[in-house]
Amino acid sequence: MNSQKQLLIGLTADNFRHSLDLEATNALKQLPGFDILIRSVLGSVGEQFFYLNNIASSILVGENQLPDLHNLLLEACKVLDLEPPQLYIQQNSVPNAYTFAMRGEKPFIVLHTSLIEMLTPEEVQAVIAHELGHLKCEHGVYLTMANVMVLAASLLPTWGAMLTQSLQERILQWVRCAEFSCDRAALLATQNPRTIMSVLMKLAGGSPTIAPQLNLDAFIEQAKAYDRASRNSLGETLRAMQTSQLSHPVPVIRAREIERWSGSAQYQNLIQQHNQDLSQVGKWRDW
């Protein structure tokens, strides 16, 4: 890992939260009692269910189990000024990672094996840091609702009848906006925008065989071409239609957002104002 990486002492979510995330979160907060309902229905039961499921069928990463991955987690937490959650590795052919944190108890991150297989260690840390961004921004309640909604829709065709179309759209809109904040957390942890964009490129069209052959500069140009093609009114309409039912923004949009933010005064100021050289810290905090 980069010995010149800076710790971001005193970093808060509001220091890096994307404006779209803030706007969408505030919109969901206008739904009276919505977050309390989710906590009540899914809180303790959900935490216990997922904890037992992870312990039973995944690998818990620690000092004595996949220590290299454990160190990636600890370093990312240290840079972001965040206590480490549990990290699990799960056998799955679909590249993915997700986070659960309902009441602030037993938060955890799950990485699928297929994702790890096509990423470099620094890119794996970027994914971990992205998931840590959900914890840092306290996305747990609404993120859990979004995950449950997507899961239930795949299992129960009648799920759509249980939620109004408006609510589904608002939740999906929120989670797409929240992803931008978490990409920023990944950038703050790795402090290398090309690492984040490389992860997005591999998620768009990578595999363990293809990933080493991909050209990041060509992908960045592709992202710029998408940006140019959607600037007119027709392009904006088609872009909205393409993304309205997605749980994540498309990879090229996320790549462009990271490229822009990495060159912004806000990002540079965060690195300068909150920094402490990681190489000067003697040992890990005893959590």
The token pair at 251 is: 């990879």
Closest CA to 253 of 223, 229, 273: 223
Residues with Cβ within 8 Å of 225's Cβ and at least 6 positions away in sequence, in order, are none
Is 131 catalytic? The answer is: yes
Burial (CB count within 10 angstroms: exposed 0-12, middle 13-18, buried 19+), residue 183: buried
- Tokens 């990495």 found at: 262
Residues with Cβ within 8 Å of 251's Cβ and at least 6 positions away in sequence, in order, are 200, 201, 203, 204
Q: Where are the beta strands (DSSP E) in the chain?
A: 6-8, 59-60, 86-90, 97-100, 108-112, 275-277
Q: Which of 123, 131, 179, 257 is catalytic?
A: 131
- Phi-psi region for residue 120, left (φ > 0), alpha (ψ -120 to 50) or beta? beta
State the catalytic residues: 131
